[in-house]
A = this chain, B = another copy of it.
């Protein structure tokens, strides 16, 4: 039996234990954006550090930051071998609207081959399959095939300021030959894919004020400023029904795509358009009709309202004209654009489009750059080979619409290829109620990562 087969058997034999361990970790509600969950975030960090120590990492520690802690582990097995830096995040999104969950968001529940829990797919489940792959190498081969550094953060859903500072201040400490991030999803369960691009993000809050106090709509309706109405007018001017964003500097800054990629988007051989309609439960897609859906998700900028709040929204009726209203609005931006520069353009557009008689303030809550890796990078090809060997199918290269600001930061600061090999599926409903992770993807993911690690060794092919 080759060691690859033994490793896969080890992963099969121990999969229930890996799932139980994942459930234990998932039950910790490590919501990084809510201050009342600060201790939970810390507990989730301690949990994974302990797990790394148990697996056998000689070095594993908590790194304090001004926000939530980082978890770092390292195993330098052989100076002649390359080093891989593995990144993940142990924090999770908030859970509201909580009433839409079919099982409590922090009570991991297995139904029909999926594990349901906030963080199951994004990103604890994906970190756990990497840990399983590492454990298999250590138990079966007695050592890791390459040198491994692991850096996990607890602020990915909250802007990631602490890890950004840490990476920028410690490039030598983190030096590696490639970076692996398992925090994305494949296009379909039967179609492996690798992410070659991610959009950056600029997340803002727009606050509008009108009169000095709330007013009665009977006495003042017709002469009073209405901040909710003004905010609606502003938002409709920032982006039209046709999906076109009215920020002139942005329109002229979109980078061009290659011919092959354009063709892939136009032909849509994986029928992504149909899949998206089914996933969303709609009959046609929204957005810029002039661009194919994959280009709209992968390369085009978007402007989305995530939340809006103003006036009276409880049961019944209240005839108030509120003194203020607020919206949370983000832009997704293709690689190459600097989000903080875009913030200036947005702010200018907001001031220009704002109806008269109101005061508007735009706040930059967080920002992260986009990322793009050309599909010829060797580490990316090793990942493609690993996927093909486990899934039995050639993977496609995709640009994802989401943002992993840390990917572009690693790429920029460490100057090495970043492999985005995720095992989520499009219907995992991450960031929404009933987030889940496929157990089949968990099992295949473990084996793919184990295979990938073997392909990174230099010199002769690993004994196997």
Contacts and interface: CB of A to CB of B under 8 A. Distances in A.
Given A241-B233, A241-B355, A304-B229, A280 B224 contact: yes
Contact of A223 (B34, B293, B321, B400): B293
A282 B357 contact: yes
Interface string A285-301: 11110000100110010
Interface string A218-238: 111111111011111101110
Most B C-beta atoms less than 10 A away, residue of A217, A310, A327: A217
A203 B217 CA distance: 11
A223 B296 contact: yes
A365 interface: yes
Given A94-B312, A314-B94, A221 B304 contact: yes
B286 A215 contact: no
Contact of A221 (B311, B318, B332): B332
B236 A222 contact: no
A246 interface: no
Contacts of A365: 316-317
A320 interface: yes
A212 B281 contact: yes
Interface stretch (A126-134, A250-258, A341-349, A429-437): A429-437
Contacts of A201: 218, 319
Interface residues of A, number: 101
Interface in A305-333: 305-322, 325-328, 330, 332
B217 A316 contact: no
A320 B306 contact: yes
A321 to B, nearest CB: 6
Given A214-B432, A308-B228, A430-B216, A286 B332 contact: no
Contacts of A236: 229, 232-233, 235-237
Given A219-B400, A222-B401, A315 B280 contact: no
B306 A321 contact: yes
A402 interface: yes
Interface in A17-32: none
A30 to B, nearest CB: 14
A159 interface: yes
Nearest to A229: B305
B233 A281 contact: no
Interface string A144-158: 000000000000011
Given A306-B312, A307-B313, A332 B228 contact: no
Contacts of A82: none
27 contacts: A33-B315, A94-B312, A94-B314, A100-B214, A201-B218, A212-B282, A214-B433, A215-B432, A218-B332, A219-B402, A219-B426, A222-B296, A222-B332, A222-B401, A223-B276, A225-B280, A229-B235, A232-B235, A236-B237, A282-B357, A285-B357, A305-B310, A306-B317, A307-B310, A308-B309, A319-B330, A320-B431
Interface of A: 33-35, 93-94, 96-97, 100, 157-159, 185, 199, 201, 203, 210-226, 228-233, 235-237, 239-241, 243, 276, 280-288, 293, 296-297, 300, 302, 304-322, 325-328, 330, 332, 355-357, 365-366, 400-403, 426, 429-434
